[in-house]
A and B are shown apart, each in its own frame.
Chain A
Amino acid sequence: MFFQQLITGLSIGGVYALIATGYSLVYSLLDFSNWAHGEVAMLGAYVAFMAISALNLPFLAAVVLGIAGAALISLFNERLAYRRIRHNKSPNMFLMIAAMGLSTTYQNAATLVFGAKFKQYPNVLPISSVSIGNLRIGVLDLVSLIITAVVLVVLIIVINKTKFGLNVRAIACNSQTADLLGIKVDKCIATVFLLAGALAGCAGILLGMKYNVYPTMGNVGVKAFIASVLGGLGSVPGAIVGALLLGVIETLASGYLSSGLRDLISFTLLIVILLVRPAGLMGVDVQEKA
């Protein structure tokens, strides 16, 4: 029982991590909470759904389209709103307000266009669970876990080992000096939005496979926010650890206590962390950014 719960928890935590890492990357670069990030995941899930139902594309092609769509929407948000606000040198609060506006707009637009009804992906997995000894583990959970693990490992390598990753970390440290030394700051930020969008699209499709596709599914962005705070705002490894922890805690809470307590526990955790350890578990110094 516990082991099954753990696998489920890690798999849902992995999906949170796909969203939380992108959210955290954007936060580390631009110092604002991108509330529209969950909606990017939602739109990615819808793009994939439409690719199947309207274009009759095979599932994998739809997944690729969904991820690409989410990446482009994320980039669109940056070009439409965030970049202008940055170039106007407006306060960071404007970025967050723009993100909230985009979030609400996308949610309502999705309801208008696709309706509030749940949409279902076709069942692509041949079996729904496997038995290992006396354990029954969901195949979707396993697949999701493997996909997220691979994606996150690649992401960490990109951030820590590539020139692009170095540029991103330099901008996060001190964007003015990064600019001065010849880093193409706008181009780097745009690439980060593309990357974050692709990760969110991937998460949206996995969520859609598990829980269906609906206009408010982007509220999962709040979970990504909690995960990021838990791990340490702005830190990518922190976001991953926080997300996995949150996924496991939620699953155990709904398994052993009651599923109604799931969100209560997540938010209590958020408040406790904010009060007791505001720098998060991975201990990134939040003071320095201010």
Chain B
Amino acid sequence: MLKIEGLKAAYGGIKALKKVDMNVNEGEIVAVLGANGAGKSTLLKCISSVMKPAEGTITFLDKPLPTKPFEVVGAGLVHVPEGRQIFAKLTVTENLRVGHVLRTDTAEIKKDYERVFEYFPRLKERENQYGGLLSGGEQQMLAVARGIMARPKLMMLDEPSLGLAPIIVDQIFEIIQEINRYGTSIMLVEQNAMKALSVCDRAYILNVGEVELSGTREEVLANESLSKAYLGD
């Protein structure tokens, strides 16, 4: 459903993506792994159109990807950004309302609220609390929940496990699989390679702006150099 060809991107003179080809098929969970500075977040920013790539094409559902962020969201592609980026001075409910800003299907939106509160009962309890007053784990839940409210066809998550206790990480990853079972394809950017490889169908390893390795989860797990570099054994 998402097809990236020859993507290059730079910040001023710094080349962050050198030439990336990648694709995500309907229904998949695709992990994008790589060390700090590999270009993972840059890749997601290019896809969600908040950053202009220097070269390359991105097609989504057989159409060229639109160039304005709200058009990308409208096309069914949502980016849950790195570092949660909760609206600190909006309540939990208001944060979720921003998530469905472009939707008009009221009845379906209501269903998604129910779904989100079923996934994250904690958010229901804190409905009227300011986003900025939530704990880190709760903020990450809210960031994912806010993404769900857009009811995307493809959800891109940037390091949802960042800075969270293992038990919360497990919870978040379970919900990610749940979202996927509901029919949303997932592109999962992670530092926590082991964890990501335990839930994904396929994976890409980025190394300083280039795809170093890609394949099914089994293929990637079987790769020795990768195990040494990223999985620490």
Contacts and interface: CB of A to CB of B under 8 A. Distances in A.
Contacts of A176: 50, 85
A261 interface: no
B88 A288 contact: yes
Given A166-B97, A176-B50, A182 B102 contact: yes
Given A170-B98, A173-B90, A182 B85 contact: no
Contacts of A172: 89
Contact of B73 (A167, A169, A182, A288): A182
Given A163-B101, A167-B101, A181 B146 contact: yes
Interface string A154-168: 000000000100110
Contact of B85 (A177, A183, A288): A177
A173 B70 contact: no
Contact of A182 (B81, B90, B94, B101): B101
Contact of B50 (A163, A167, A179, A183): A179
B30 interface: no
A178 interface: yes
A136 interface: no
Given A166-B97, A167-B101, A177-B81, A182 B89 contact: no
A181 B94 contact: no
A183 B70 contact: yes
Interface in B92-120: 94, 97-99, 101-102
Contacts of A166: 90, 94, 97-98
B74 interface: yes
B16 interface: no
Contacts of B87: 169-170, 173-174, 177-178
B48 interface: yes
A174 B101 contact: no
B65 interface: no
A266 to B, nearest CB: 29
Interface string B52-89: 00000000000000000110011000110100010111
B69 A180 contact: yes
Given A166-B94, A181-B101, 6 more contacts: A163-B97, A180-B81, A181-B78, A181-B146, A182-B73, A182-B150
23 contacts: A163-B97, A163-B101, A166-B97, A167-B98, A169-B87, A169-B94, A170-B87, A173-B88, A173-B89, A173-B90, A174-B85, A177-B81, A177-B87, A179-B69, A180-B73, A180-B85, A181-B73, A181-B101, A182-B74, A182-B102, A183-B98, A183-B101, A184-B70
